[in-house]
Structure 1
Amino acid sequence: MFYDRLKKLVTESHKSFNRVERELGYPRNALANYRLGKEPSAKRLTEIADYFGVTSEYLLGKDDEYSYKKAQLLFDGLDEERKQKLLEYIQERIDVLKSMEETFVSLSATRFVYCGNDTWTIQSNDRTINFPVSQLPEDYDAVFELVGGALEPTSPNATGNLIFIKYDENNQVSAVHTFQLDHEHYAKLLTGDGKVFYLNRSDNTEYEDVPVTCGKIGKVYHSTSLL
């Protein structure tokens, strides 16, 4: 069992027995001779285990678990392209596991459909969305969902984006509201009789030319997979 596992580790490290022997300071064929069934001394067993980043129990066949060091050794043996692909795959699996463990809350969002010319029209019915609790802003009063278009010029499509609004204390329903976004862009909200008619964006960054804001867009959540 010892030699089988030793041979497996040598092969996976992309090294030869002779190279491993040199790096450990052992005589030539010191490791290869274990194929006859002899086990190493406790001192040498520990040295070999530390070299490959595994446990002594693993080498002796008493434990099937790889250690972190073993995983690191295998990773270091990959070229840069394969390392990147492996990291991307691991991150994808982590994201899936996190999403499975995530707690969700139901949000009622007013939906806006983009009509062109920085204008959105409101849909008559709000939509209920299952939203991850960890992504909620600390404080907000309303949630808008954009369908098509975008508030930010750098975003070609806003479908699935949620806009979290925090009203100022002086907010009035029947008024033209200007919502500050990231201190640069402004989403104008026109309301009348308690209903929102359109939402548009202004690139005006001259603050003295912008009306007094009645609220702030506390967060823009970018997603195309909201439920």
Structure 2
Amino acid sequence: MLLFYDRLKSLVVDSHKSFNQIERELGYPRNALANYRLGKEPSAKRLAEIADYFDVTTEYLLGKGDDYNYKKAQLLFEYLSQEKKQNLLNYIEARLDEVTRFEQERVSLNVEQFVHKDADTWVFQPSDKIVRFPRQELPDDYDVIFELVNEALQPAIPSMNGDLVFIKFTEKPLKEGILSFSLEANQLAKLVTNDDRVLYLSYLGTDDAEASEELSGKVVKVYRSQEVLS
């Protein structure tokens, strides 16, 4: 833990003033602040005065907190000339605009389509569809994107027509091209592939521990079409 003098010295250096100058401004005797290097701590009254002078908390001065970075940045900013201040503000504004444009940018994604056939089966349908998707909404990692067409995956879930399902595979296909992945708690889904092509997606409502051990992938996230793709 930093001692009071360590924090005080850091604040004095950042202020670009001397100990003597600050002592005069606070109305303290000469070396009143510098003598804290001997390891003593100030009285509660003087501690509050010093904290108020540097616009920090007493906890920070006593080494019990680290909420000072914002104040250090403010001190450095105030030390700049007016021209440099404006140049810095212009740079920050340009960077913020760049980040905003990046977050709002949409990227082109190729999606596989599954068409609902019965209560728990979705059949693969060849598709060259490309979706414009918000970059900031993309998962960090995924292997394939499925677009669900028509009804819900199960009656309890509202219609998922047009929703995108991002899936990350965790290992190679099992059992002659069958991929299992977790959809929700105690629910599995299976993908059947042939020659590296997905044939169908089947929903399985189960809490079978043995089936869970076969998982070779997981749904990274489901994006609702009406919320994301509008």
TM-score (norm 1): 0.51
What's the counterpart of residue 148 of structure 1? Answer: 150
Instruction: Tell me, yes or no, if structure 1 residue 199 matches structure 2 residue 201.
Output: yes
After TM superposition, the structure 1 stretch with the greater mean CA deviation from structure 2, 190-199 or 106-115, is 190-199
Distance 1:179 1:223, change over 3 A: same
The unaligned stretches of length 5 or more in structure 1 are: 1-97
Kept in 1, the 8 Å contact 2:186–2:205? The answer is yes
What's the counterpart of residue 190 of structure 2? Answer: 188
Match among 168, 185, 188 for residue 170 of structure 2: 168
Kept in 2, the 8 Å contact 1:164–1:218? The answer is yes
Q: CA deviation at 1:152?
A: 5.1
Match among 113, 133, 136 for residue 131 of structure 1: 133
Match among 216, 219, 226 for residue 217 of structure 1: 219
Q: CA deviation at 1:149?
A: 2.5
Kept in 1, the 8 Å contact 2:111–2:127? The answer is no
Q: Which residue identity lines up with residue 121 of structure 1 in the other structure?
A: V
Q: CA-atom RMSD, angstroms?
A: 2.7
What are the Cα deviations for residues 158-206 of structure 1, in whole angstroms up to 9, with x where unaligned?
Answer: 1111110101133469511111123332121011122222111111023
What's the counterpart of residue 122 of structure 2? Answer: 120
1:60-79 counterparts in 2 under 5 A? Answer: none
CA distance in 1, matches of 2:179, 2:171: 13
Kept in 2, the 8 Å contact 1:173–1:193? The answer is no
CA distance in 1, matches of 2:210, 2:155: 22
Match among 152, 155, 159 for residue 157 of structure 1: 159
What's the counterpart of residue 109 of structure 2? Answer: 107
Kept in 2, the 8 Å contact 1:149–1:157? The answer is yes
The unaligned stretches of length 5 or more in structure 2 are: 1-99
Q: CA deviation at 1:103?
A: 1.4
Distance 1:152 1:131, change over 3 A: farther
What are the Cα deviations for residues 128-183 of structure 1, in whole angstroms up to 9, with x where unaligned?
Answer: 00011121111101100000133354323111111101011334695111111233
Match among 177, 182, 185 for residue 179 of structure 2: 177
TM-score (norm 2): 0.50
Distance 1:205 1:213, change over 3 A: same
Runs of 4+ with deviation above 6 angstroms: none
Q: How many residues align?
A: 130
What are the Cα deviations for residues 109-145 of structure 1, in whole angstroms up to 9, with x where unaligned?
Answer: 0011101131112122231000111211111011000
What's the counterpart of residue 5 of structure 1? Answer: none
CA distance in 2, matches of 1:173, 1:196: 14
CA distance in 2, matches of 1:117, 1:211: 25
What's the counterpart of residue 95 of structure 2? Answer: none
Kept in 2, the 8 Å contact 1:185–1:204? The answer is yes
